[in-house]
Amino acid sequence: MIPCKRFIKRGYVIVAALLFFSIRLQAQNNDNDSHTAILFSDELKKEYESALKTLKLKEYSIITKTDTIRFLATLPGKKKKTIVFVAGSGPVPLITKVPEGYYPPFPFSLDSTTLAGFNLVIVSKPGLKVFCTPADLSIDLLKQGQVMELDSWNRPPQKYTMNNKLSKIGGDHIDVVKYLKGQPWVDKDNIYIYGHSQGAHVAAYVAWKDSADIKGLIYSQSNAYSVYAGYLSAILYDTKLTAGEADKKMDSIYRQQGAIINGIPDKEMDELYGWNEADLYDKKNNDFFDIYTTRWRSLEFPAAIDYLLNVTKPVLLVNGMASTGEYDNKNVPIDFIQHHKHNLSVLFYPGYDHNFFKSVFDANGKPQEPEFHWGDVFNDVKKWITKQ
Following DSSP, what letter does each residue of 88-149 receive, concatenated? -SS---SEEEETTEEE-SSSS---HHHHHHEEEEEEPPTTS-SEE-GGGS-HHHHHTT----
- What is the rounded distance in angstroms from the CA atom of residue 3 to the CA atom of residue 228? 33
Q: Which of 27-31, 108-112, 230-234 has the least mean pLDDT? A: 27-31
Helices (H), the chain: 4-9, 42-55, 112-117, 139-143, 158-163, 166-180, 198-209, 227-236, 243-261, 266-273, 277-280, 293-300, 304-308, 332-338, 374-387
Residue 285 has pLDDT above 70, yes or no: no
Q: How far apart are the first and last CA of the chain?
A: 33
Contacts of 152 (CB under 8 A, 6+ apart): 138
pLDDT at 159: 84
pLDDT value at position 36? 44
CA dist 97 and 324 (Å) reads 33
Q: For residue 266, give the nearest of 286, 282, 288 by alpha carbon.
A: 288
pLDDT band of 193, cuts 50, 70, 90: very high
- Ramachandran area for residue 154 (φ above 0: left; ψ -120 to 50: alpha; else beta): left
> Is the CB of residue 190 less than 8 Å from the CB of residue 204?
no
pLDDT mean over 23-35: 39
Query: In the predicted model, is pLDDT for residue 373 greater than 60?
Result: yes
DSSP 343: -
Confidence of residue 142 (pLDDT cuts 50, 70, 90): low
pLDDT of residue 15: 26
pLDDT digits (tens, 9 = 90+) for 236-281: 888 888 999 888 888 878 887 787 777 776 666 655 555 554 444 4
Of 113, 122, 103, 110, residue with least CA distance to 196: 122
Whether residue 98 contacts residue 54, with contact meaning beta carbons closer than 8 Å, is answered with no
Q: What pLDDT is stored for residue 23 in this prediction? A: 30
pLDDT in tens, 286-301: 444 444 556 667 777 8
What does the pLDDT read at residue 234? Answer: 85
Report whether 237 contacts 330 (CB < 8 A): no
Binned at pLDDT 50, 70 and 90, residue 283 comes out as: very low
pLDDT score of 280:
45
Share of the chain above pLDDT 90, in %: 48
Looking at residue 352, what DSSP letter applies? B
Cα–Cα distance for residue pair 98/110, rounded to 1 Å = 20
pLDDT-based confidence at residue 27 (cuts at 50, 70, 90): very low
Q: How far apart are CA 64 and CA 47, in angstroms?
A: 28
pLDDT of amino acid 1: 34
Provide the pLDDT confidence category of residue 8 given band limits of 50, 70 and 90: very low
Rounded Cα distance, 53 and 104, in Å: 12
Task: Tell me yes or no: is domain 4-228+298-387 CATH 3.40.50.1820.
Answer: yes
Taken as a whole, the chain contains a residue count of 388
Examine the pLDDT at 165 and tell me if it is beyond 60: yes
Residue 316 has pLDDT above 90, yes or no: yes
Domain ranges of the chain: 4-228+298-387, 229-297
Is the CB of residue 255 less than 8 Å from the CB of residue 269?
A: no
Segment of 2-11, 103-112, 191-200 carrying the highest mean pLDDT: 191-200
Q: 50-103 pLDDT, tens per residue?
A: 999 999 999 999 988 878 899 999 999 999 999 999 999 888 889 988 888 898
Element (H, E) at 61: strand 57-63
Q: In whole angstroms, what is the distance from residue 30 CA to residue 38 CA?
A: 9
**Angle value at C-alpha 135, between 1 and 101, nearest 5 degrees:** 10
Q: What is the pLDDT of residue 108?
A: 93
Taking the model in full, what pTM does it have?
0.84
Q: Is 43 helix (H, G, I), strand (E, B) or coil?
A: helix
Average pLDDT of the chain is 81
Give per-residue pLDDT as tens, 172-186. 999 999 999 999 999
Q: Cα separation of 310 and 29, whole Å?
A: 38
CA 213 – CA 79 distance, rounded (Å): 16
